[in-house]
Structure 1
Amino acid sequence: MSQWLELQQLDSKFLEQVDQLYDDTFPMAIRQYLSSWIESHDWDHVANVENESLATVRFHDLLTQLDHQHSRFAMEKDFLNQHNIRKIKRNLQTLFQDNPVSMAMIISKNLSEERKILAAAQISEDSTQNAQSDMMIEKQRELDHSVKAIKSKVQETEQNIKNLEDLQDEHDFKSKTLQSREELNGTISREELNREKACLRAMFMKLNEMRRGVVSQMSEVLNLVEQLEYDLISVELPEWKRRQQMSCIGDLTNICLDQLQNWFTAVGECLLQVRQQLKKLLELEQKFTYTQDPIALSRGTLEDRALTLLKTLITNSIVVERQPCMPTQLQRPLVLKTGVLFTLKVRLLVKLQEFNHMVRVKVHFDNFRKFNILGTNMKVMNMEESIGMAAEFRHLQLKEQKVAGNRTNEGPLIVTEELHSFTFEAELCWSGLVINFDTTSLPIVVISNVSQLPCGWASILWYNMLTSDPKNLAFFVNPPSVSWGQLSEVLSWQFSSITKRGLNAEQLSMLGHKLLGPKAMKDPEAQVPWNKFCKGGSEKNFTFWLWIEGILDLIKRHLQCLWDEGYIMGFVTKDRTKALLNDKAQGTFLLRFSESNRDGAITFSWVEHSANGKTHQALSYTLHKLRCGAHCYLTLHLSPPAYAVKISKTLVNIQHIQKSTTYDLNR
Structure 2
Amino acid sequence: MSLWTKAQQLQGEALRQVQAVYGEHFPIEVRHFLAPWIESKIMSDVDPDNPQHEQYAASVVGALIQELESKAQALTNEEFFLTKIKLQGAAEMFRQRYSQNPLGLLRIIRHCLGTELKLVQQAENMSLGMSSNPAALLPDASGEILQQLDILRQRTQETSEDLRRMEQEQEAFALEYHELTKIQANLTHLQNQAPSQQRNDFEKQLRIKKEMSEHKLNVKLAELLQMRMALAEKHKETLMLIENLQARVLDDELIRWKREQQLAGNGVPFHSNLDSIQEWCEGLAEIIWLNRQQIKEAERLRAKFPIMQANNTDHVPALNTQITQLLSSLVTSTFIIERQPPQVMKTNTRFTAMVRLLVGGKLNVHMTPPQVTVSIISEQQANTLLKNDKMAKGEASGEILNNTGTMEYQKASRQLSVSFRNMQLRKIKRAEKKGTESVMDEKFSLLFQSKFSVGGGELVFQVWTLSLPVVVIVHGNQEPHAWATVTWDNAFAEPGRTPFVVPEKVPWSQVAETLSTKFRSATGRALTESNQRFLASKAFRNPNLQLPLVGPEAGNLMLTWSQFCKEPLPERNFTFWEWFYALMKLTREHLRAPWMDNTIVGFIGRKQTEDLLKQCLRGTFMLRFSDSELGGVTIAWVGDSSEVFMLQPFTSKDFAIRTLADRVSDLKHLIYLYPDIPKDQAFGKYYTPFTDSQTPTNGYVKPLLVTHVPGWSSGGGNLETGSYPPTPQGFYNPQSPEASMGRDTPSVHSATSETVHSSFYPSTQTGQPNEVSDSFQDFMSQVEELDNLEEFQMDLNTMGVMPPGMTHFKS
TM-score by length of 2: 0.58
**What is the rounded CA distance, in whole Å, between the counterparts of 1:440 and 1:247 in structure 2?**
17
What's 1:582 paired with? Answer: 614
What's 2:480 paired with? Answer: 454
Superposed displacement of residue 379, structure 1: 3.6
Amino acid at match of 1:492: S
Q: Which deviations, in whole Å up to 9, do the C-alpha atoms of 1:203-229 show, x marking residues without a partner?
A: 332222212111111111112222223
What's 1:510 paired with? Answer: 534
**What is the rounded CA distance, in whole Å, between the counterparts of 1:530 and 1:409 in structure 2?**
21
What's 1:439 paired with? Answer: 465
Superposed displacement of residue 636, structure 1: 4.7
Secondary structure class of the residue paired with 1:498: helix
**What is the rounded CA distance, in whole Å, between the counterparts of 1:556 and 1:268 in structure 2?**
45
What's 1:362 paired with? Answer: 373
Moved more, 409-418 or 186-195: 186-195
Superposed displacement of residue 335, structure 1: 0.5
User: Does the C-alpha gap of structure 1 residues 171 and 475 become closer, same or farther in structure 2, counting only changes over 3 Å?
Assistant: closer
- Runs of 5+ consecutive residues of structure 2 not aligned to the other structure: 1-129, 188-201, 381-395, 688-704, 723-811
Superposed displacement of residue 579, structure 1: 2.4
**What is the rounded CA distance, in whole Å, between the counterparts of 2:283 and 2:412 in structure 1?**
21
Contact 2:469/2:500 (CA < 8 Å) preserved in 1? no
**What is the rounded CA distance, in whole Å, between the counterparts of 1:460 and 1:241 in structure 2?**
16
Contact 2:225/2:308 (CA < 8 Å) preserved in 1? no
What's 1:31 paired with? Answer: none
Amino acid at match of 1:524: A
What's 1:307 paired with? Answer: 324
Superposed displacement of residue 444, structure 1: 0.7
What's 1:572 paired with? Answer: 604
CA root-mean-square deviation? 3.5
**What is the rounded CA distance, in whole Å, between the counterparts of 1:290 and 1:628 in structure 2?**
91
Superposed displacement of residue 592, structure 1: 1.3
**What is the rounded CA distance, in whole Å, between the counterparts of 2:311 and 2:245 in structure 1?**
26
Sequence identity, in percent?
A: 27
Amino acid at match of 2:305: F
**What is the rounded CA distance, in whole Å, between the counterparts of 1:401 and 1:607 in structure 2?**
54
Q: 1:649 aligns with which of 686, 706, 713?
A: 706
**What is the rounded CA distance, in whole Å, between the counterparts of 1:475 and 1:195 in structure 2?**
74
Larger radius of gyration: 2
Q: 1:389 aligns with which of 412, 416, 425?
A: 416
Amino acid at match of 2:614: N
Q: 1:492 aligns with which of 516, 522, 537?
A: 516
What's 1:530 paired with? Answer: 561
Amino acid at match of 1:625: D
Q: 1:542 aligns with which of 574, 586, 596?
A: 574
Contact 1:443/1:470 (CA < 8 Å) preserved in 2? no
What's 1:501 paired with? Answer: 525
Contact 1:346/1:390 (CA < 8 Å) preserved in 2? yes
User: Does the C-alpha gap of structure 1 residues 376 and 514 become closer, same or farther in structure 2, counting only changes over 3 Å?
Assistant: closer
**What is the rounded CA distance, in whole Å, between the counterparts of 1:605 and 1:434 in structure 2?**
69
- Once the two structures are superposed, the pairs formed by residues 154-553 of structure 1 within 5 Å of their partners are 154-177=156-179, 179-180=181-182, 183=185, 190-292=207-309, 297-325=314-342, 334-351=343-360, 352-356=362-366, 357=368, 359-366=370-377, 370-380=397-407, 382-383=409-410, 388-400=415-427, 411-412=433-434, 413-430=437-454, 431=456, 432-468=458-494, 472=498, 475=501, 480-516=504-540, 517=542, 518-521=545-548, 523-525=553-555, 526-538=557-569, 539-553=571-585
User: Does the C-alpha gap of structure 1 residues 144 and 504 become closer, same or farther in structure 2, counting only changes over 3 Å?
Assistant: same
**What is the rounded CA distance, in whole Å, between the counterparts of 2:444 and 2:211 in structure 1?**
79
Superposed displacement of residue 197, structure 1: 4.0
**What is the rounded CA distance, in whole Å, between the counterparts of 1:279 and 1:142 in structure 2?**
30
What's 1:662 paired with? Answer: none
What's 1:4 paired with? Answer: none
Superposed displacement of residue 642, structure 1: 2.0
User: Does the C-alpha gap of structure 1 residues 654 and 206 become closer, same or farther in structure 2, counting only changes over 3 Å?
Assistant: farther
Secondary structure class of the residue paired with 2:267: coil
Q: Which deviations, in whole Å up to 9, do the C-alpha atoms of 1:495-536 show, x marking residues without a partner?
A: 211232111111111111222231434643212222222222
Secondary structure class of the residue paired with 2:444: coil
Secondary structure class of the residue paired with 2:165: helix
User: Does the C-alpha gap of structure 1 residues 503 and 359 become closer, same or farther in structure 2, counting only changes over 3 Å?
Assistant: same
Q: Which deviations, in whole Å up to 9, do the C-alpha atoms of 1:251-296 show, x marking residues without a partner?
A: 1143432233233222222211111112322332244332439999
Secondary structure class of the residue paired with 2:336: strand
- Runs of 5+ consecutive residues of structure 1 not aligned to the other structure: 1-125, 326-333, 403-407, 658-667
**What is the rounded CA distance, in whole Å, between the counterparts of 1:385 and 1:249 in structure 2?**
32
User: Does the C-alpha gap of structure 1 residues 348 and 531 become closer, same or farther in structure 2, counting only changes over 3 Å?
Assistant: same
Superposed displacement of residue 365, structure 1: 1.6
**What is the rounded CA distance, in whole Å, between the counterparts of 1:155 and 1:243 in structure 2?**
36
Q: Which deviations, in whole Å up to 9, do the C-alpha atoms of 1:583-617 show, x marking residues without a partner?
A: 3345544221111111x222223455x3x132454
**What is the rounded CA distance, in whole Å, between the counterparts of 1:375 and 1:454 in structure 2?**
28
Contact 2:620/2:676 (CA < 8 Å) preserved in 1? no
TM-score by length of 1: 0.69
User: Does the C-alpha gap of structure 1 residues 474 and 389 become closer, same or farther in structure 2, counting only changes over 3 Å?
Assistant: closer
Amino acid at match of 2:528: N
**What is the rounded CA distance, in whole Å, between the counterparts of 1:473 and 1:311 in structure 2?**
23
Q: Which deviations, in whole Å up to 9, do the C-alpha atoms of 1:322-362 show, x marking residues without a partner?
A: 2212xxxxxxxx00000001112222233424222454432
Amino acid at match of 1:391: V
**What is the rounded CA distance, in whole Å, between the counterparts of 1:280 and 1:601 in structure 2?**
74
Contact 1:285/1:295 (CA < 8 Å) preserved in 2? no
Contact 2:369/2:406 (CA < 8 Å) preserved in 1? no
Contact 1:602/1:620 (CA < 8 Å) preserved in 2? yes
What's 1:597 paired with? Answer: 629
